[in-house]
Amino acid sequence: MVHDPRLSAPLLHWFAASRRALPWRDGHDPYRVWLSEVMLQQTQMERGVDYFLRFTRRFPDLASLAAADEAEVLRLWEGLGYYRRARNLHLAARLMVERHGGRVPDDREALRALPGVGDYTAGAVLAIAYNRDEPAVDANAERVLARLHDVADSPRDAKGRRLFRELALGITPPGRAREAVQAVMELGALVCTPRAPRCEACPLSGECRALAAGVVLERPVLPGQARVTPIGMGTAVIRHRGLVFVQRRLDRGVWGGLWEFPGGQMEPGEHPRDTARREVREETGFEVEIRDKLAVIRHAYTRYRVTMHAFLAGFPEDSDPPEPVLTAAQEWRWTSLEGLAGLTLPAPMRELAQAMARDPRFAG
Ligand code: SF4
């Protein structure tokens, strides 16, 4: 994925101002970076900081850790749990002394060959310690990226992992992986939190697709939640004298309070063209003619995969429209295509508006 400065510039700016002062962030000593990454797995930050400080006072470098007794390493680890991690840490330190001249290696394969170093830890060491353009996607980064790009795929299977690595690179300016990797994770830890994200304070809120679609708390979709139900929709773009009809939904449901073109879910066996006509009648009282197919928009929402069939529609012989009788919306208006830009639309409706802007039938 090509790097997108619209995402990375505000993110890095925010990180420069908001980053926490953490002990492993003084300098980029690969030993301290690797140690912090191993220690912080499944450990709360405050606890991790205390242990890191104790550990590095006793073992200030790789050589001192490699030379230590395993019993002493375990004693200093006591209380952090997952003792296998401590054993792996100690063994990895010894291997780095034996095989890598006492250095933390700077290539992915050599790192991955060390005990306790998975894909994420290898990426974090390469990016943070060596400033290599490598992705490192932990749970915080997964959450930020899934929300930012409104990804309905799980980040935990092979396809999802590839996708999330690509998305992580898309927010990394070449040569600045050290900051970008930490910035995404920091945003996930401080702002884009699991249950109470502070979108109003987020430097990426203007670009965030999950926020625009109202599905923030449903991202990321983790394994077990990924069963998908297909939904077909018929939607009508009613045109009259160069303007299109939109309505603002009632404040409930997934699209509550957002603007849309009238339409709805297809009933079993129903053609989307008939759905569009029926939904317009039910939602506005309008009797419209459904004309050409305009676009097919596909979008994944929570557990649903929506296929929206959009049609051009109009009043018979372009007669003047009556006043609508709204049943699913609180407000309506006739607007130009340019006017749509100022309205908050759910993601598939925004895609439809973009398709209309490109469509020669709307030119002029
Ligand atoms: S706008 Fe909200 S959901 Fe989107 S990245 Fe920022 S904090 Fe996360």
Pocket test for ligand 1, best of 191, 198, 209, 219 (most atoms within 8 A of CB): 191
What are φ and ψ of residue 206, in 5° steps?
-65, -20
pLDDT at 145 > cutoff 60? yes
Q: Provide the Cα torsion 126, 128, 131, 137; round to 10°.
A: 60
CATH of the domain at 121: 1.10.340.30
Q: pLDDT tens for residues 26-68?
A: 889 999 999 999 998 877 888 899 999 999 999 999 999 999 9
| Segment 212-232 mean pLDDT | 81
Q: Is 5 helix (H, G, I), strand (E, B) or coil?
A: helix
Same structural domain for residues 98 and 214?
yes
Which atom of ligand 1 is least distant from the CA of 203? Answer: 6
Task: Tell me if 155 sits within 8 A of 162, measured CB to CB.
Answer: no
C-alpha 151 to ligand 1 mean position (Å): 13
C-alpha 245 to ligand 1 mean position (Å): 30
Residue 224 domain-assigned? no
Which atom of ligand 1 is least distant from the CA of 144? Answer: 5
Average pLDDT, the chain: 92
Give the closest residue (by CA) to ligand 1 atom 4.
208
Range of the domain at 138: 5-218
Which atom of ligand 1 is least distant from the CA of 216? Answer: 3
| Segment 121-133 mean pLDDT | 97
Same structural domain for residues 176 and 264?
no
Greater confidence (10 vs 84) lies with 10
Residue 223 domain-assigned? no
Pocket test for ligand 1, best of 18, 147, 195, 344 (most atoms within 8 A of CB): 147
Same structural domain for residues 125 and 273?
no
C-alpha 183 to ligand 1 mean position (Å): 13
Beta partners for residue 309, in sequence order: 234, 296
Ligand 1: residues with CB < 6 A are 144, 147-148, 191-192, 197, 199, 202, 204-205, 208, 210-211, 216
Same structural domain for residues 169 and 255?
no
Which of 162, 183, 218 marks a domain boundary? 218
Which of 218, 252, 287 marks a domain boundary? 218
Which of 218, 251, 282 marks a domain boundary? 218
What are φ and ψ of residue 137, in 5° steps?
-115, 100
Same structural domain for residues 102 and 128?
yes
pLDDT at 99 > cutoff 70? yes
Same structural domain for residues 200 and 247?
no
The whole-number pLDDT of residue 347 equals 81
pLDDT at 240 > cutoff 60? yes
Of the chain, the percentage scoring pLDDT greater than 90 comes to 74
* CA separation for the pair 49, 133 (Å, rounded): 27
What are φ and ψ of residue 16, in 5° steps?
-60, -35
Q: How many independent structural domains does the chain possess?
A: 2
Q: Which amino acid is at 332?
A: W
CA 141 to centroid of chain Cα atoms: 8
The whole-number pLDDT of residue 225 equals 59
pLDDT at 100 > cutoff 60? yes
Active-site positions read 37
Same structural domain for residues 353 and 207?
no
Beta-strand ranges (E) seen in 216-262 are: 229-240, 243-249, 259-260
